[in-house]
Amino acid sequence: MTSSMEAVDPVVRDFILFCVQRQGKEWPGLYDEMCRVSGRRLFRGLGYADLRKLGLSFSLTGLEDTIRMVDAVAAAE
């Protein structure tokens, strides 16, 4: 496990994997699915604000960090 992977909250990791199972790893489809899932609170009732508190941002300014996080989680699986 890389240090970037260790920094990912386990709930965020599970959220990302949930979305990967639904959509696949290809970007931007995965990003769209993550937004859809969080917008509808389909994963453990978590929405955008909940995930942001856990370290996952959907903002355009934080997109590079989000992509790195998603890549780390997907590569570890």
d(CA 57, CA 31) in angstroms, rounded, equals 11
Tokens of 66: 């989000």
Q: What pLDDT does 5 receive?
A: 56
The pTM of this model reads 0.89
CA torsion, points 74, 71, 10, 41, in degrees to nearest 10?
-90
Mean pLDDT by 10 residues, the chain (77 residues): 66 97 93 97 98 94 92 88
Phi-psi region of 64 (alpha: psi -120 to 50; beta: other; left: phi over 0): alpha
Q: What pLDDT does 77 receive?
A: 77
Q: What pLDDT does 7 receive?
A: 84
d(CA 77, CA 59) in angstroms, rounded, equals 25
